[in-house]
Each structure stands twice: as structure tokens, then as C-alpha cells.
Amino acid sequence: MLFLFRSLRVSIPLSKISQFPKPKLHKYTTMAPLPPDTRPIIISGPSGVGKGTLYKLLLDRHPSVFCTSISHTTRDPRPGETRDVDYYYTTMEQFEKMIGEEGFVEHAKFGGNRYGTSRKMIEDVRGRGKVVVLDIEMEVGLFFCFTVIWEGIKGADLRAIVWEGGALRLSVGDGVKQIHNSPISARYIFIAPPSMTILEQRLRGRGTEKEDSIQKRLQQAKNELEYSKTEGVHDIIIVNDDLKKAYKEMEEFIFAAKKD
Ligand SMILES: Nc1ncnc2c1ncn2[C@@H]1O[C@H](COP(=O)(O)OP(=O)(O)OP(=O)(O)O)[C@@H](O)[C@H]1O
């Protein structure tokens, strides 16, 4: 059975954000000043580690400072989605023209549709005095891997080939690597689980995945944790054990004085 998924999730649709419970970390929303370093912030880590939870807290806590990224897509809007809010909807022709003009910092193709984060969107957000935060998930699967092979997505890092359950699966370099290879200068935060056991508990506890999806995500988590050890890929690795502590560490890193 063909399993389809988006390999790089760089924005959480607003509809998803509204599903999160209200954050309990802070009683009041504050008007914090901009961080000294206003480069885009890339939050990545295995599925289920808590990226979305931390990302949502950051945006809720500092609405005047941070801004979610909006991806481009060639797919049609789904019911309930809003144009230029959930996605920028474009034609395949326009999208491919933008690829040719190096208009994306990362892009991928699934199910016949393309998705990507545009350079212009990031630059516009910075121009409006806000800091863009990208939540990047790395997933792997048959469809995306073949797309990578046939389309030769720039920056893709074919790191391993395994024969698993009769399906060829490749571990590919993720959106983080694509962004590293783009002209965009960013700050990279990797969220790690305290252990694989706890990651599994969170994935199961969330109640959103079927068993085979949980197994694939856990397998992929191992690849991502291995990749996270590569020197220079991330500026900070935060272990999300206690949510409050992990959030504080992330916030302190983001608002820390700029390093030369
Ligand atoms: N520190 C924590 N302690 C306990 N549970 C947590 C913690 N952080 C997050 N969770 C819970 O773990 C589950 C997974 O979190 P979340 O959905 O934010 O992960 P994610 O990394 O965004 O996953 P995906 O990439 O698949 O969207 C959620 O149910 C969330 O409430």
C-alpha cells in the first residue's frame, strides 16, 4: 500500500494550531522585544517529540515577535482552509518557475503536488519586523524517496538504503539540510526526546497514528537522532523532558545575545 505523507512540515495550518490546549506556562501574553538575532528559527526533531507544542507556546507567548511560515502548494484548498493563511496556492507551472528561480529554501513533492517554503515569504516576514519560525518534520517513505531520486531535489542527502517489509525505503536528508544549502541564514533548534521509550509513549498518547505509522516514525526518529549528532547542523539540542524546562531553554536560546 502506498503511504503518503508530507516529508517536510514547515508550517502548522491554523486549523491545527487551534486544536492545542491553551498554554499554561504563562498567565499573560507579553510584548517582548525582538531577539537580538532576528534570523529565521528552524525547529526540527522526530515526530511526536513535542515540536508543535513548543512552537505553539512560542507563538502564543510572543505574538508580536514571531510569525508562522506559510508554505506554497500546488494542491487545491481543502474545506476550511483559507487562501494566504493556511497556504499560498499556486499552479504547478508557477511553482516550477519559482524552483527555477531558486525561489524556495526547501521544497518537496507528494501525491503529485508540490509544497515549499519560499525565500520571499521569509524575507517579507523579516521586512515586517517579525521573526519567522519554521517547524520542520523529517519523515521518510516510498513516495518521497522516489521523488527525490527522480527529481534530484537539491540538497537531498541519501544516507541509507534499507529493504524493509518488501518496500525500498531511503533515509533522506531533511528540510534542515535543504535550508542549510539555501542562501537563507537561520538558527537551528533540534528537539530530542528523553528516550525512545518516552517518544513512543508520546506518539501513542497523542492518539493520531496507526500502528504502522508509529513504527515508521520511530524508525525514522532513530535516523534523525543520528543525523542530529552531525557537527554544525544544529545550534542547540534541547531535550524535551519537562515541557516547562524545555520551553524555557528554547526561549532563552532565542532571546540570547547575538554571537559573532
Ligand atoms: N515535555 C512533554 N512531556 C509530556 N508530553 C509532551 C511533552 N511535550 C509534548 N508532549 C506531548 O507529546 C505529544 C506529541 O507532541 P507534538 O504533537 O507537539 O509533537 P511533534 O513533534 O510536533 O509531532 P509531529 O512532528 O508528528 O507533529 C503531544 O500529545 C504533546 O502534548
Answer yes or no: are the C-beta atoms of 141 and 102 closer than 8 Å. Answer: no
When pLDDT is cut at 50, 70 and 90, the band that residue 31 belongs to is low
* Average pLDDT of span 150-165: 34
Domain ranges of the chain: 14-20+37-68+131-254
Decide whether any atom of ligand 1 lies within 6 Å of the 180 Cβ: no
When pLDDT is cut at 50, 70 and 90, the band that residue 260 belongs to is low
Collapsed DSSP state (helix, strand, coil) of residue 180:
helix
Decide whether any atom of ligand 1 lies within 6 Å of the 240 Cβ: yes
pLDDT at 182: 84
Find the range with the poorest average confidence among 16-25, 106-115, 176-185. 16-25
- Over pLDDT 90: what percentage of the chain? 47
pLDDT at 91: 97
Ligand 1 atom 16: the closest Cα is on which residue? 50
When pLDDT is cut at 50, 70 and 90, the band that residue 256 belongs to is very high
Number of the ligand 1 atom closest to the C-alpha atom of 53: 18
Helix axis angle, 243-255 to 51-61, nearest 10°: 60
Query: Is residue 158 pLDDT above 80, yes or no?
Result: no
* 57 alpha carbon – ligand 1 mean position (Å): 12
pLDDT at 162: 33
When pLDDT is cut at 50, 70 and 90, the band that residue 227 belongs to is confident
Q: Higher model confidence: residue 4 or residue 60?
A: 60
- Work out the mean pLDDT of the chain and round it to a whole number: 78
d(CA 114, CA 121): 16
Nearest CA to 6 out of 117, 127, 162, 119 is that of 117
Which of 49, 68, 248 is the pocket-test mutation for ligand 1 (most atoms within 8 Å of CB)? 49
pLDDT at 138: 53
pLDDT at 159: 33
Report pLDDT digits (tens) over 165-178: 222 333 334 578 88
Query: CATH for 14-20+37-68+131-254?
Result: 3.40.50.300
Cβ neighbours of 101 (radius 10 Å): 9
Decide whether any atom of ligand 1 lies within 6 Å of the 13 Cβ: no
Which of 202, 228, 250 is the pocket-test mutation for ligand 1 (most atoms within 8 Å of CB)? 202
Q: Higher model confidence: residue 97 or residue 183?
A: 97
Answer yes or no: are the C-beta atoms of 153 and 62 closer than 8 Å. Answer: no
* 171 alpha carbon – ligand 1 mean position (Å): 23
Ligand 1 atom 26: the closest Cα is on which residue? 47
Decide whether any atom of ligand 1 lies within 6 Å of the 239 Cβ: no
Strand 113-118: give its sheet, edge to edge: 87-89, 71-73, 113-118, 104-110
d(CA 158, CA 50): 26
- Over pLDDT 70: what percentage of the chain? 73
Decide whether any atom of ligand 1 lies within 6 Å of the 72 Cβ: no
Which of 196, 206, 241 is the pocket-test mutation for ligand 1 (most atoms within 8 Å of CB)? 206
Query: Is residue 148 pLDDT above 50, yes or no?
Result: no
